[in-house]
């Protein structure tokens, strides 16, 4: 979409999110990475099972493998223990009229049709066993291939590899996987008032909290960060920084300078270097969010996301808007926002014309969650954002009434 088709006015949150997801182009190419280094990365290809799982019939617990018919026939005499089968042993055959002492994961001897837990078995001095209670056919036996068979697709391309996925691949003996390249994100901050932590404070200056916050958020998203630091509040300095970012990154992420003041240069410089797709989303905080492309202003160029300078507004717009775009560029499938109704434990006037995302903590003491404000809700107030469990989503022009239910967005969904 070029600047000629710039969306005008404030976009609805869901509309803006959908546009960003649709605009995300997955990175091409792949790299082969050892399994131990693949956590948080995205599969470039489907992974197909090489082995049945389980590979053999095996015992689900420590106990005794036997034939039910022989157990019944033995009655009070009991069955003699004829074998001992530890985990890792080869497959054996159960002798007629006998049972096998077996351990969790060990191969079930051929001929056995049941494993009885050791807690239900007594064993006498003659090494014969008796079973308390009923034994059922197939009990406590993990059948070969009951989870999946060799040749089945285990994970589709686009899967984010978490601990469970890595464990499953390791259980197949897979040592290396084909992954999409890391997304290279150029990060820059604008604002002559900004100074970095560690520099002595001066009146009128502001410590740059956005930089460290976005470095952490990009690291959580497993991006490669190209940190361009603080850029001076001049069109020329911003022009040079964006050209540098464009030439070395897959995505440019900047904070500050995206509003409409005289010192906000991101929009005019972006329009010189490329094109703006939309500017402004009807959310509070996060309204000045901007999205466009460097180079020719079309999706063939390098995408640019402009986040607001106020840190909470930057955080909210990253989580709700920038992050799904990043996931799409990584080749991940982006689902809808997770939400469920939660009762408000407070009353509050609504925001005119904008959806408001209130930073809240949940109180579960009554057995059902009740949302309370985490603290001050200003777009510069990081304390509440650092303590919040998630967001209470308030429709534009709607007041919060204590005791009523409203959509709640759990914060955990933004960490994966």
pLDDT, position 295? 81
Closest by Cα among 151, 136, 182 to 33: 182
pLDDT, position 2? 36
Contact (CB, 8 A) for 375 and 330: no
416 residues of the chain, pLDDT tens digit each: 333 345 558 999 999 999 999 999 999 999 999 999 999 999 999 999 999 999 999 999 999 999 999 999 999 999 999 999 999 999 999 999 999 999 999 999 999 999 999 999 999 999 999 999 989 999 999 999 999 999 999 999 999 999 999 999 999 999 999 999 999 999 998 888 888 888 888 888 888 999 999 999 999 999 999 999 988 888 888 889 999 999 999 999 999 876 555 556 777 888 888 888 999 999 999 999 999 999 865 678 999 999 999 999 999 999 999 999 999 999 998 999 999 999 999 999 999 999 999 999 999 988 899 999 999 999 999 999 999 999 999 999 999 999 999 999 999 999 98
pLDDT, position 261? 52
pLDDT, position 3? 39
DSSP 261: S
Sign of CA dihedral 5, 11, 14, 16: positive
Looking only at Cα atoms, what is the longest distance across the chain?
96
> How far is the C-alpha of 115 from the C-alpha of 102, rounded, in Å?
8
DSSP 119: G
> How far is the C-alpha of 235 from the C-alpha of 272, rounded, in Å?
10
Give the E-state strand segments of 317-414 in sequence order.
Answer: 340-344, 355-363, 370-373, 390-394, 405-410
pLDDT, position 5? 47
Contact (CB, 8 A) for 100 and 66: yes
Closest by Cα among 124, 302, 285 to 226: 302
- How is the chain split among helix, strand and coil, in percent rounded to 5? 25, 30, 45
Q: Please tell us whether the domain made up of 340-415 is placed in CATH 3.40.50.11740.
A: no
Cβ neighbours of 315 (radius 10 Å)? 25
Task: Please tell me the class of the 40-53+152-179 domain.
Answer: alpha beta
Residue spans per domain, the chain? 3-27+182-329, 40-53+152-179, 58-142, 340-415
**What pTM, to 2 d.p., does this model score?**
0.86
CB burial readout 358-377, b (16+ within 10 A) else e:
bbbbbeeeeeebbbebbbeb
pLDDT, position 297? 57
Closest by Cα among 233, 234, 228, 227 to 193: 233
Token pair for residue 147?
């989870």
Task: Please tell me the class of the 58-142 domain.
Answer: mainly beta
For the domain spanning 3-27+182-329, the CATH number is: 3.40.980.10
pLDDT, position 196? 87
pLDDT, position 4? 36
- 323 burial type by CB count under 10 A (0-12 exposed, 13-18 middle, 19+ buried): buried
Contact (CB, 8 A) for 112 and 66: yes
């Amino acid at each position: 979409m070029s600047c000629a088709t710039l969306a005008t006015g404030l976009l609805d949150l869901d509309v803006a999110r959908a546009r960003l997801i649709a605009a995300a182009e997955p990175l091409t190419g792949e790299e082969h990475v050892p399994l131990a280094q693949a956590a948080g990365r995205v599969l470039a290809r489907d992974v197909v099972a090489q082995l049945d799982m389980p590979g053999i019939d095996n015992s689900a617990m420590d106990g005794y493998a036997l034939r039910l018919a022989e157990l019944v026939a033995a009655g009070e005499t009991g069955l003699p223990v004829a074998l001992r089968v530890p985990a890792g042993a080869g497959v054996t055959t159960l002798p007629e009229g006998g049972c096998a002492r077996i351990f969790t994961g060990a191969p079930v001897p051929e001929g056995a049709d049941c494993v009885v837990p050791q807690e239900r078995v007594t064993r006498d001095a003659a090494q014969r066993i008796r079973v308390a209670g009923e034994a059922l056919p197939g009990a406590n036996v993990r059948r070969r291939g009951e989870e999946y068979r060799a040749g089945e697709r285990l994970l589709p391309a686009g899967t984010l590899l978490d601990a469970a996925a890595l464990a499953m691949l390791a259980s197949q003996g897979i040592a290396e996987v084909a992954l999409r390249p890391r997304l290279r994100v150029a990060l820059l901050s604008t604002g002559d008032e900004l100074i970095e932590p560690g520099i002595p404070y001066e009146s009128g200056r502001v410590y740059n909290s956005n930089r460290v916050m976005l470095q952490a958020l990009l690291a959580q998203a497993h991006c490669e960060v190209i940190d361009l630091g603080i850029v001076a509040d001049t069109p020329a300095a911003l022009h040079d920084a964006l050209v540098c970012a464009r030439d070395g990154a897959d995505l440019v992420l900047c904070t500050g300078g995206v509003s409409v003041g005289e010192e906000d240069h991101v929009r005019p410089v972006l329009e010189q270097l490329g094109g703006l797709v939309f500017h402004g989303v009807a959310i509070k905080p996060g309204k000045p969010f901007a999205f466009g492309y460097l180079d020719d202003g079309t999706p063939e160029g390098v995408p640019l996301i402009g986040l607001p300078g106020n840190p909470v507004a930057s955080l909210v717009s990253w989580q709700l808007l920038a992050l799904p775009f990043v996931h799409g560029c990584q080749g991940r499938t982006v689902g809808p926002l997770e939400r469920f109704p939660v009762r408000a434990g407070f009353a509050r006037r609504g925001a005119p014309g904008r959806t408001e995302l209130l930073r809240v903590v949940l109180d579960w003491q009554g057995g059902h969650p009740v949302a309370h404000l985490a603290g001050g809700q200003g777009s510069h107030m990081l304390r509440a954002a650092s303590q919040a469990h998630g967001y209470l989503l308030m429709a534009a022009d709607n007041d919060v009434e204590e005791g009523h239910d409203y959509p709640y967005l759990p914060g955990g969904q933004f960490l994966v």
